[in-house]
């Protein structure tokens, strides 16, 4: 019986081509433990399982939902241990909503500050050699 990964699997360039991700990204994901190689070819090239494509789609989807690579890694660890990570993903998505709510609050405060600043803006303020822009009050 041949060792897994010695003659089968996708080389990193082929995986990059099929996934649409740069080789550099795939190497980074491998370094983080997000994308395990299944072995090396006789020529020493890393080989990845066909299922790596599904794994990369999973990573891409969670990234589009705003999860960090660390959070995604935690979900994949649950999967790799043989369990469904759905409960963990639900928790992470709930935390993402909380982060978004905080960002919305901060953006509303910034918007108000900008509107207040512009409401008192002078187009031609008096020049003062000690101040870069008198309208900013710094």
Tell me the pLDDT tens digit for each residue of 20-58.
Answer: 999 999 999 999 999 999 988 888 888 999 999 999 999
**Nearest in space to 57 (alpha carbons), one of 97, 31, 20:** 20
Q: What is the mean pLDDT of residues 92-104?
A: 97
CA distances to 66, 71, 75, 106, 125 from 78, rounded to whole Å, are 19, 11, 5, 34, 61
Assigned fold of 10-120: Multidrug-efflux Transporter Regulator; Chain: A; Domain 2 (1.10.1660)
Q: In the chain, what are the domain boundaries?
A: 10-120
Q: Give SS3 for 126.
A: coil
């Amino acid at each position: 019986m041949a060792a897994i990964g010695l003659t089968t699997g996708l080389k990193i360039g082929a995986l990059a081509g099929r996934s649409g991700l740069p080789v550099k990204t795939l190497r980074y994901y491998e370094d983080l433990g997000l994308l395990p190689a299944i072995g090396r070819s006789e020529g020493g090239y890393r080989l990845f399982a066909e299922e790596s494509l599904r794994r990369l789609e999973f990573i891409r989807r969670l990234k589009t939902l705003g999860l960090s690579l660390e959070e995604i890694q935690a979900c994949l660890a649950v999967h790799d241990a043989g369990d469904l990570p759905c409960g963990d993903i639900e928790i992470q998505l709930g935390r993402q909503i909380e982060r978004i709510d905080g960002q919305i609050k901060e953006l509303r405060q910034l918007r108000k500050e900008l509107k207040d600043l512009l409401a008192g803006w002078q187009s031609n303020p008096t020049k003062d050699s000690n101040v870069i822009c008198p309208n900013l009050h710094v």
